[in-house]
Structure 1
Amino acid sequence: MTDDDQKSDLSERFRGRFDDPTDDQEEDELDETGERDETHATQSEQSERSIPEKTSKNAKNEMNAMRVKNVKESWSATSVYLPEFLDRQLTTTYKHADLEFEEEFGRSLQKTRYYYPLLVELGMERIEEMEAHELQERIEDLEADAGEE
């Protein structure tokens, strides 16, 4: 078997494992006879059909991103600089969460694969819900916490 054959075979296996076979199928409007009839579909109706398709593909890409074998090779790296007191709290919080997770499920809560992404996702959700004055209050609280150190 040549290298090209091996690559093709590997690509087919990945495609079969990660691709959704329904992605290539188009959802068509049918007339009374069961025939495809796009002439009566308005442009907005046609556009509405493409929005869920794009959302579905984005969701699938996100799921595939979570299934990569080596996150350090596949994901983007972002440096975050934290004051010492927050860095200690981050470590402590992870240790507590990992202990609970291991007691409940018998396996470790992987820090890079799950803990950090959850931390960022949950933090972003909360920040999106906050108004500007709430953000300012939290910044002031953070500065006050730093002053207590």
Structure 2
Amino acid sequence: MATIEYVLGDITEQEVDVIVNAANSSLLGGGGVDGAIHRKGGPEVLDACRKLRAGHYGGGLKTGQAVATPAGRLKARWVVHTVGPVWSATEDRSALLADCHHNALKVAKSLGARSIAFPAISTGIYRWPVEDAARIANAAVRDAGIELIRFVLFDEKTLNAYRP
């Protein structure tokens, strides 16, 4: 059974095997967590993402999917990029948010990772309500088969929402 931790902090500073990036579909960087990971990871992360775009992911990464790159200058070994859904008041996209977590874990396990750090996927610019995102994320990582799952949250409100 996995140990699940909830910490207030900077996901780019985590010493884990895998850091999950709340990426945009282009894989080429952006704002929020995505921009921070690309800046801190350095050109190695962007170069790896460009190679993915030149190959199988020419049209970008679809919502809920996940793909790995080396972590460049980050303390982690890999970055697993996943594209969260934009929240909608008229359409239930909860399964897509759960898929982000399931698929990131699946990719991490395929890499032999024993530890993984998640941000609060889709709660920033994609406007997913934090309490609902926390419920979905916690349910999705249960029985994941990875030794350590760490949610790295950026403020007290989000930390309190994620922590059971």
Q: What is the TM-score when the length of structure 1 is the normalising length?
A: 0.22
Q: Which has the higher helix share?
A: 1
Q: Which has the higher contact order (CA 8 A, sep 6+)?
A: 2
Structure having the higher strand fraction is 2
TM-score (norm 2): 0.20
